[in-house]
Structure 1
Amino acid sequence: MEKIALWLKENYLALVAPILLLAIWEAASQFGLIRANLLPRPSVIAVVLVELLASGELLANLGVSILRVAEGFIIGAGLGVLVGVQVALSKKMRIAVSLIFGVLRPIPVIAWIPVLILWMGIDEGSKITVIAIGSFWTVLVSVVEGIKNVDKKYLEVATILEKDHMTLLTKVILPAALPAIFTGVRVGIDVAWRSVVAAELIAAASGIGYMIMYARELSQIDVVLVGVLSIGFTGIIIEQLLQLLEKRLLRWNVNIH
């Protein structure tokens, strides 16, 4: 209880601001200042939210999207770490891939969706690949920058102790670069979450993006808003879980907040 009270004391504005916004929104709707067919009242959205939770539709679609994100992110982040380590440790490798990466990295993830649909259809493979692409670049950049910024003193000590390359990598370089890598992972999971929604909006038969598009076709703006808000709240939960994991794994690092 004391921790909760302390958190409320430090973060009360984070609660007051949205409550005040919802109250203004509700009042404006009640007085007809906002058209209900364009932006329903918060109370109406809350009722629809409860109905979708009770029916299981919302949780089922969220579950599908989260599973896609997990699969795509594991693939993309795993490749990002493997390639990032090679690029960071090899100057020749950096030069060889610099032009290729320079062309491919700025391409928005959503631009790959039509291409992947043509190549792979609208099955799970195309959606998971979109997520993997988005995750790959974010994690890759973080790994490269993290390794490049490792304190040279660590490397000098390891060299003096005559450590082999694998020990140097696993015991010195990667642990020292882990904070930067974790930052990339957090950004990467955010990109992955947005990517899956984009993929589902274009071609899917399930998932939270599909639910939003189907509701739009039926002009169910309240369901659309429930889906949109669910995306945001799920993103917050994922972010908080990653922060807890980061603090637990990197408790030795005084810079972790």
Structure 2
Amino acid sequence: MIRNGDERLETLLKVSAPVAVLAIWQAVSGLGLINPVLLPPPSQVFSVFVEMPGEILKHALTSLYRVAVGYSIAAVAGVSLGVLMGTYRTAHAAMDLLIEIIRPIPPIAWIPLAIVWFGIGDPSAFFIIFVGSFFPILINTISGIRSVDRIYVEAALNLGADDTALIRHVLVPGALPNIFTGLRVGLGVGWMCVVAAEMIAAKSGLGYMIIEAQRILATDQVIAGMITIGLLGLVMDRGFRYLERRALVWR
């Protein structure tokens, strides 16, 4: 049990690191130790949020939309195939080699093919996000299904459960902790993938905003875009953790 004093200390420690980074950053910039074109001071970066909030919001919403679509497809496909491969040995034997060949390929390596197949725009970004999110979800789902205690499986079979009932009432509930882990990791990877995809295969989004700012040496806009990406990633991760705690309240 965490005491109130411990909670305050923990909160202080969480806040201290970002504050220290900002202080050092401001000091380095203020003393002129680094060219402001290379590393603008925090005040200049934060002014970007004041001067162009509409532009940042537009690109952020575009990136979030792409992640929502690509990640949703990956979640459905990854969990479904993971349950199938975790439950049936024949399905695992048929798919495992192919998956293990494709899985190590970085999502960014798919960008040239995505552009050839889908062109510049949303479909390419959807595909890259799907590729990045799919495999963490799939692997964790398979692991979760296979880690369910055999006692529960045998008990369900002895009670006359068919395959559908076994999956719905025993395997999937027992694998939920692993499935949620895969979904959370997949969301983080998908968020990183959308930024990379937008730098090359899109004309909007936070990744596009950053690469365009870099071309005109607007490093304050580059860093503002990076901060936006980090903050949105933090919000999504914390939100997913909250949903996980609500869904797995029995843990």
Which stretch has the larger CA shift, 182-191 or 16-25?
A: 16-25
Closer, same or farther in 2 for the Cα pair 1:98/1:251, shift >3 Å?
Answer: same
Which of the numbers 181, 184, 203 marks the counterpart of 1:183?
181
How far apart in 2 are the matches of 1:155 and 1:248?
A: 25
The amino acid across from 1:104 in the alignment is I
In 2: Cα distance, 1:248 partner to 1:69 partner: 23
State the AA in 2 paired with 1:176: G
C-alpha distance in 2 between matches for 1:186 and 1:100: 24
Structure 1's consecutive aligned runs of 4 or more residues displaced over 3 angstroms after TM superposition are 4-9
Name the stretch that deviates more: 17-26 or 233-242. Answer: 17-26
2:211 paired with 1:217: no
Question: In the TM superposition, what are the counterparts of 1:131-150 in structure 2 within 5 Å?
Answer: 131-150=129-148
Which residue of 199, 205, 219 maps to 1:207? Answer: 205
Residues 204-242 of structure 1, C-alpha deviations (whole Å, 9 max, x = no match): 111001110111111100000000111111110000000
In 2: Cα distance, 1:153 partner to 1:115 partner: 46
Give the aligned residue type for 2:108: I
State the 1:129 CA deviation. 1.0
1:127 maps to what in 2?
125
**TM-score using structure 1 length:** 0.93
Indicate the residue corresponding to 1:239 in structure 2: 237
Secondary structure of the residue aligned to 1:138 is helix
Give how far 1:6 is off. 7.4
Shift of 1:11: 2.0
Tell me the equivalent position of 1:106. 104
Structure 2 spans left out of the alignment, 5+ residues: none
Write out per-residue CA displacement over residues 72-103 of structure 1, whole angstroms, 9 at most, x where no aligned residue: 00111111111111111111221222221121
CA distance in 2 between counterparts of 1:238 and 1:145 reads 24
Calculate the aligned-residue CA RMSD, in Å: 1.6
Alpha-carbon deviation of 1:170? 0.6
Work out the CA distance in 2 between the residues paired with 1:90 and 1:158: 16
TM-score using structure 2 length: 0.95
Q: Which runs of 5+ in 1 are unaligned?
A: none
Structure 1 residue 203, shift from structure 2 partner: 2.0
Q: How does 1:1-257 map to 2 (within 5 A)?
A: 7-53=7-53, 56-253=54-251
CA positional deviation for 1:44: 1.2
Going from structure 1 to structure 2, the CA distance change for 1:118 and 1:220 (only over 3 Å counts) comes to same
Instruction: State how far apart, in whole Å, the 1-side matches of 2:6 and 2:70 are.
Output: 38
8 Å Cα contact 2:119-2:201 kept in structure 1: no
Farther-moved stretch of structure 1 (76-85 vs 9-18): 9-18
Could you tell me how far apart the structure 2 residues matched to 1:184 and 1:219 are?
38
- Aligned amino acid, residue 18 of structure 1: P
Count of residues in Structure 1 that have an aligned counterpart in Structure 2? 249
Deviations 1:92-130 (A, max 9, x none): 221222221121000000000100111111131111011
